[in-house]
Chain A
Amino acid sequence: MIRDPALLQRAALCYAQAGDHARAARCHEEAGHRLRAAELWEQAGDLARAADCWLGAGRARKAAECLLRADRPEAAADCFEQAGDPLRAGWTLVTRTRSYATAEQLFAAARPADAGERLRRRLGRELAAALAYGGTAALVTTLAGVPDRIGTLAPTRERAVVEEWAVTAADAIRRPDLGALVLAASYRAGVPGCADRWRDWAAHALGDTTGVPAGPAGARTPAQRDAAEQPYAAPLTTAPLTGGHDT
């Protein structure tokens, strides 16, 4: 039975006004309004159905993000691959699952378009190799070079992605010192939102946010600027950290 879409839409609006997002989403979905239904399913907290709606509406990347939030990394990787982003798909498999071989295939099949994507592809392949086989020398070398290269990447959004990947890779091989260097370089490069991410990372990974700048790079105080210029460079590059208390 096919119900009248116009009446279903009115029903959905009434449900939304009454705060019943799930029923509103169901009515929108039945009426064929998948985008609106996907948003309402997200509001209702049903991320799997939201991902279905996103996928049905041709928004595979949004579906993948929903699936990541729903803790379904394999399905999210499929959606990223459908969206034409094999780097992201491979990265999801590397960081959220143990499908390193599949991730390596995805990285091998990816065709990076610029320097940022090439750097991310290299990070991904080396992280996959490190997690699969245990050798981290290549990844450490690459991570050590990220702070110098991150300021040259374009566009700015790509810097933020490289920063996220590099910090995640450093955390994965238990080298928060390298992650801190990357965040500091990103902060200096003026990547938007870097200060907040740095603070959150320091609180989560090191247990202490001392010395982390509180605002963006342009609004910092001279003391903060000095601290940012020399974050943990001398001691951290020589010996890997094992915990936040050593700092």
Chain B
Amino acid sequence: MTTPRRRRRKIFPSLLSTPPPTPPAAPPPAAPRFRAVPVPADPPGRVHPPAPPDGPPDDPPYGGPGAASGAEPSQATPWPAAARFPVPRAALGHLAATADLGVPELRRSPYDGSVWVLLDAAHLAALPLVAAYGGTAFQSDGDGRLWPYDPSGPATDASARPTAGTPGTPGTHETHETHGHETRESRVPRLPWPPPSSAPAAALRIPWRAGAPEHARHEPPPAPRTADVAGWETLPLAELAAHSPVGAPPPGLREISVLAPGALARWLLRRCLAAGVPATFTPVERLDGAGRTDPGWLLLRLGAAGAVPQGLVEACGRLPGTVACRAADPDGRVLVDLGLRLPLDDAVLLDDAPPGRHVVVERAAAGPPWQWRPLGEAAAAELLDAGPLLGPAAAPAAVPVPVPPLGPPLPVRLVAGARAPRRVDAVLVADAELDGLRRFLRCRPLHETAVVAFGPGRHLVTEPPGLLQALPFGVPVYQAGPGALYLESGCVLNPPLPAPARDEVLGLGPDVIKVLCRDGAWQLRVADVRPAWQLWMPAAPAFESGLSYPAQELLDRLADALPAPESPAPPAVRTTETERARLNQEAMEHSLRGDYRRAAELLEQAGHFQRAAQMYERAAGELGEAR
């Protein structure tokens, strides 16, 4: 432990009097320019010889008792110490470890992007921990210059620091080495920056910024002073917290907030509705660091009774530009990315957040930090797709809700799918195929039960499954539901639409049949459904009626001879076949609408047990698919 300390004490008195350092390309001097001086362990209480009379008295570098006669009082800088961290995550770790002392001032170096922490008197206890987080601690002297911190020296309290010449201070070694032979400037180290190229100081080597000017690549940065560091750009704590470790979102979240652009937010809201997760949305505008605003954003708040589905949470976080967050407070002043593993307590972030602002702590890789500002009140997710209210009580101008741009609607297409149903519930035939259908059906048992729904150029022939497989022409379709919606066999809708959406988008109704094929879409009416045998029903012949004269004469004679039988007119009852035909027709209409169960019951009632059984199977399959 002593070796690094000794190396850190190497002070270079001639540095100040020498010209600016040469570029690295310059040849090194033959003799070592600086020489390390071993420092003996000074016994406590050792009295150093006084300064030579020909030299000016040493300035007390740290103030303290001798500060009264010093040129710069140390109380002019409120930060007696500072720490430099090469990467933001190191500064964040140190800050989290010393969070109980309060949040110190944070600065970003304009030279190398390192993070400087200005420590006031209340934070001096955090100084010994700096090295543990990979940082470098500095103490300021009376001039405000920063010196590497010496942990073996006296207490960090500036007032208790020894004066120049006391062992353990940077000036001490110079005093030993150049006692009575150097000027004031050469004896007192005024430029502790850049650090010497000793082993511990090598850790302080910093890669110069790629965008730095050429001369800055070769020349070390100027000696920092506390006032210089304080004048650098302030680093918000939220931006520092963005460098926290990143992991997967924690499971079991009951409420999350999502900031999303308008088009993606609408998709997310629909997915929330489909998943049964209650959600609200608030129009917000995004403010970046340069003050530019982007109003097309929505803040979604998802809250589930149990937990928000993990798939939904991950989907929110994976979308481009979308941030899935948790709110640090109910007002949402600080939203923290769900993937961030913050080492800090949320209260620290809340205390540091500027009042009246809404800060987003997003992972650092996503870009510079930004803020948001609400533009309206929160509304339920269902209202996003709601149409305008046309009632007398609803005045359109009374609720100026800024609707963000939601993007164009997606086209729904019919595409062939490997998993699409390939069963044949009906066959769509064209006008030109009607004649072939007539000739085909009249020789087969299908003609007794099949029905045809006539339409605009296309006609739907339907029957219980199995019989239609043999039809050698037409486009096979299957009943996709709800109601009388038929899709071409082997095809599905892309993107897939749930049953309510199909009902709403395709305009299904109880009296219409909609057929979608890859080459067109047709709407047929249930009222135009006819039995298939009507395709070839011949015209009724002209029946001759009435009585011929001989017959009439004969009947008259008989009426005179025999009394007229008193037979009341028989009631017009429906014959069994008529009733069966009616039931069959009704069953086919129910089948066209997709109500297979009712159709099966009617067919069973009509005595068509085989077809009823097939219809029952179809109904069972439909229920199975619905489950």
Residues of A within 8 A of B (CB): 1-5, 7-8, 10-15, 17-18, 20, 23-24, 27
Task: Determine the chain A residues whose CB is within 8 A of the CB of B616 once the complex forms.
Answer: 7-8, 10-11, 14
Q: Does the CB pair B613–A23 fall under 8 Å?
A: yes
Q: Does the CB pair A7–B620 fall under 8 Å?
A: yes
Q: Does the CB pair A2–B613 fall under 8 Å?
A: no
Q: Does the CB pair A14–B612 fall under 8 Å?
A: yes
A238 to nearest B CB, angstroms?
Answer: 65
Q: Does the CB pair B600–A10 fall under 8 Å?
A: yes
A27 to B624, CA, bound (A): 14
A20 to B613, CA, bound (A): 10
A-B contact pairs, 17 of them (CB 8 A): A3-B624, A7-B597, A7-B600, A7-B616, A7-B617, A8-B620, A10-B604, A11-B613, A11-B617, A11-B620, A12-B613, A13-B613, A14-B612, A14-B613, A14-B616, A18-B610, A20-B610
A51 to B620, CA, bound (A): 26
B612 to nearest A CB, angstroms?
Answer: 5
Q: Does the CB pair A1–B610 fall under 8 Å?
A: no
B623 within 8 A of A: yes
B584 to nearest A CB, angstroms?
Answer: 15
Q: Does the CB pair A18–B609 fall under 8 Å?
A: yes
Task: Determine the chain B residues whose CB is within 8 A of the CB of A24 once the complex forms.
Answer: 613
Task: Determine the chain B residues whose CB is within 8 A of the CB of A8 once the complex forms.
Answer: 616-617, 620
**A7-B617, A18-B610, A20-B610 known; 8 other A-B pairs, CB under 8 Å?**
A4-B624, A8-B616, A12-B613, A14-B604, A14-B613, A14-B616, A15-B610, A17-B609
A7 to B596, CA, bound (A): 10
Across the interface, name the chain A residue whose C-beta is closest to B613. Answer: A14
Task: Determine the chain A residues whose CB is within 8 A of the CB of B609 once the complex forms.
Answer: 14-15, 17-18
Across the interface, name the chain B residue whose C-beta is closest to A13. Answer: B613
A24 to B620, CA, bound (A): 14
A154 to nearest B CB, angstroms?
Answer: 49
Q: Does the CB pair A2–B627 fall under 8 Å?
A: yes
Q: Does the CB pair B620–A3 fall under 8 Å?
A: yes
> Contacts A10-B600, A14-B604 given: A3-B621 contact, CB under 8 Å?
yes
A244 to nearest B CB, angstroms?
Answer: 51
A12 to B623, CA, bound (A): 17
Task: Determine the chain B residues whose CB is within 8 A of the CB of A10 once the complex forms.
Answer: 600, 604, 613, 616
Most chain A Cβ neighbours within 10 Å, of B604, B612, B613: B613
- 0/1 string, B587-627, CB within 8 A of A gives 1: 00000000001001000100001101110110111011101
A94 to B617, CA, bound (A): 45
Task: Determine the chain B residues whose CB is within 8 A of the CB of A18 once the complex forms.
Answer: 609-610, 613
Q: Does the CB pair A14–B624 fall under 8 Å?
A: no
B141 to nearest A CB, angstroms?
Answer: 83
Residues of B within 8 A of A (CB): 597, 600, 604, 609-610, 612-614, 616-617, 619-621, 623-625, 627
A29 to B616, CA, bound (A): 15
Task: Determine the chain A residues whose CB is within 8 A of the CB of B600 once the complex forms.
Answer: 7, 10-11, 14
Q: Does the CB pair A1–B621 fall under 8 Å?
A: yes
Across the interface, name the chain A residue whose C-beta is closest to B612. Answer: A14
Q: Does the CB pair A3–B617 fall under 8 Å?
A: yes
A15 to B612, CA, bound (A): 8
Task: Determine the chain A residues whose CB is within 8 A of the CB of B624 once the complex forms.
Answer: 1-4
A1 to B619, CA, bound (A): 13
Q: Does the CB pair A15–B613 fall under 8 Å?
A: yes
A114 to nearest B CB, angstroms?
Answer: 49
Task: Determine the chain A residues whose CB is within 8 A of the CB of B617 once the complex forms.
Answer: 3, 7-8, 11, 27
Task: Determine the chain B residues whose CB is within 8 A of the CB of A5 once the complex forms.
Answer: 620
Task: Determine the chain A residues whose CB is within 8 A of the CB of B619 once the complex forms.
Answer: 4, 7
Task: Determine the chain B residues whose CB is within 8 A of the CB of A3 once the complex forms.
Answer: 617, 620-621, 623-624
Task: Determine the chain A residues whose CB is within 8 A of the CB of B604 once the complex forms.
Answer: 10, 14
A14 to B624, CA, bound (A): 20
A32 to nearest B CB, angstroms?
Answer: 12
Most chain B Cβ neighbours within 10 Å, of A14, A15, A24: A14
Task: Determine the chain B residues whose CB is within 8 A of the CB of A1 once the complex forms.
Answer: 621, 624-625
A141 to B625, CA, bound (A): 67
A123 to B604, CA, bound (A): 57
Task: Determine the chain B residues whose CB is within 8 A of the CB of A4 once the complex forms.
Answer: 619-620, 623-624
A29 to nearest B CB, angstroms?
Answer: 13
B620 to nearest A CB, angstroms?
Answer: 4
A15 to B623, CA, bound (A): 20
Residue of A7, A11, A17, A20 touching B623 (CB-CB under 8 A): A7
A6 to nearest B CB, angstroms?
Answer: 8
Across the interface, name the chain A residue whose C-beta is closest to B625. Answer: A1
Task: Determine the chain B residues whose CB is within 8 A of the CB of A13 once the complex forms.
Answer: 613
A84 to B620, CA, bound (A): 39
Task: Determine the chain B residues whose CB is within 8 A of the CB of A23 once the complex forms.
Answer: 613
A215 to B619, CA, bound (A): 56
A100 to B493, CA, bound (A): 63
Residue of B612, B613, B625 touching A27 (CB-CB under 8 A): B613
Going nearest first, the 10 A-B pairs with the smallest beta carbon separation are A14-B613, A11-B616, A7-B620, A3-B620, A18-B609, A3-B624, A4-B623, A18-B610, A4-B620, A11-B613
A12 to B609, CA, bound (A): 10
Across the interface, name the chain A residue whose C-beta is closest to B610. Answer: A18
B261 to nearest A CB, angstroms?
Answer: 40
A171 to nearest B CB, angstroms?
Answer: 47
A198 to B619, CA, bound (A): 54
Across the interface, name the chain B residue whose C-beta is closest to A10. Answer: B616
Q: Does the CB pair A11–B614 fall under 8 Å?
A: yes
A12 to B617, CA, bound (A): 9
Across the interface, name the chain B residue whose C-beta is closest to A5. Answer: B620
Task: Determine the chain A residues whose CB is within 8 A of the CB of B613 once the complex forms.
Answer: 10-15, 18, 20, 23-24, 27
Across the interface, name the chain A residue whose C-beta is closest to B623. Answer: A4
Across the interface, name the chain B residue whose C-beta is closest to A31. Answer: B620
A167 to B613, CA, bound (A): 48
Task: Determine the chain A residues whose CB is within 8 A of the CB of B597 once the complex forms.
Answer: 7
A11 to B621, CA, bound (A): 12
Task: Determine the chain A residues whose CB is within 8 A of the CB of B625 once the complex forms.
Answer: 1
A18 to B95, CA, bound (A): 84
B425 to nearest A CB, angstroms?
Answer: 16
Most chain A Cβ neighbours within 10 Å, of B609, B617, B625, B627: B617
A237 to nearest B CB, angstroms?
Answer: 62
Task: Determine the chain B residues whose CB is within 8 A of the CB of A20 once the complex forms.
Answer: 610, 613
Task: Determine the chain A residues whose CB is within 8 A of the CB of B614 once the complex forms.
Answer: 11
